[in-house]
Amino acid sequence: MVTGLGGSLIHADSSPDIVICIPAFNEETTIGDIVSRSKTYGTEIVVCDDGSADDTASEASKNGATVTTHLRNMGKGAALKTLLQEASKFHPDIVVTLDGDGQHDPSDIPLLTRPVLDGLADVVVGCRFNGKNQIPFYRRFGNNLLNLITNWSAGTSIRDTQSGFRAYSSKVIPSISITENGMGVDSEILIELAKMGFKIEERDITVTYGGDTSTLNPVSHIIRVILSIVLPKHSYRKTVSRVGWTLALGTLTTVLVSFELVRMPFSWLGFGASTLAFTLGTLAIAQSPVGRLIRWLRRDKAARLLHREN
């Protein structure tokens, strides 16, 4: 017998209700296979067709998924918001999310759900960067940058903050409030849940990138995620917004020059890198004014004053 969701007890030999959620946009060539292979590991499969122009919805439906459709493409964040709302209707023990493009292997689902069932984690993230997968350099570079920013904001040390392959305990779902419609949703959810004190674990997964060589999409992804993290959602965060725009500009310059998409003298590259380093540091302080660094400085100062008084 193990501790279940919401404090209840789940017998070890019982079958948990697992709803698998798949956001998809123009994935007619892969979605059917993903749905079919996922059925072994879930009680329900829900696909959000995010305004596809192809037969994504029909392929998912005929392979056994419950399909909800956006009339136009609204972004991954909007798709996940819809999926979590639909998943809640089934009152699941666990919600699993994975991409519909074929990069994730559904047979890894038990690796993510087991820690939740055993009461070891509230959220389990599938880590692609484990030394076993062949991942393009630009993806590793971009992911490391986004890991740095996300972990600073969340106070975590997650190796793959951008992974969409995750398992969530049902008690976590009501706490997820998605405001980011685009690709920044993965960071947004982690930051939000970490600050609420939920326990987040990682497990190594396999990943496949077939013929994925474009560098334009990763650059766009990096900038959009950074902006989603640093742009203010409240009026009192206008200072962070200005830092965010500076960070985005410095990052864009560095990335474009690194990939030789834009040519400029080396001195300009150095300037861009310096700007990036400076704004990253500034962002770390501005984004978390009561974070670990500030708390440490205040505690150190208080200790020195106390020592003087004694």
pLDDT digits over 55-77, tens only?
A: 999 999 999 999 999 999 999 99
For 91-142, the pLDDT digits (tens) are 999 999 999 999 999 999 999 999 999 999 999 999 998 878 777 776 777 7
Beta-carbon contacts of 177 under 8 Å, excluding residues fewer than 6 positions away, are 192
pLDDT of 269 strictly over 70: no
For 193-203, the pLDDT digits (tens) are 999 999 999 99
The pLDDT value recorded for residue 215 is 42
pLDDT of 7 strictly over 50: no
Beta-carbon contacts of 199 under 8 Å, excluding residues fewer than 6 positions away, are 120, 121, 122, 123
18-24: strand order across its sheet: 66-70, 44-50, 18-24, 94-97, 166-169, 123-127, 200-204
The pLDDT value recorded for residue 253 is 62
The pLDDT value recorded for residue 210 is 66
pTM across the whole model? 0.72
For 180-220, the pLDDT digits (tens) are 888 889 999 999 999 999 999 999 999 887 655 444 456 66
Please answer whether residues 76 and 21 qualify as being in contact, where contact means their C-beta atoms are separated by less than 8 angstroms: no
pLDDT of 151 strictly over 60: yes
221 vs 146: CA distance, rounded Å: 10
The pLDDT value recorded for residue 216 is 45
pLDDT of 270 strictly over 70: no
CATH entry, 2-204, from 3.90.550.10, 2.60.40.1180, 3.40.50.300, 3.30.70.360:
3.90.550.10
210 vs 101: CA distance, rounded Å: 10
Percent of the chain with pLDDT over 70: 65
Other beta carbons within 10 Å of 133: 15
The pLDDT value recorded for residue 301 is 53
Domain limits, the chain: 2-204, 231-294
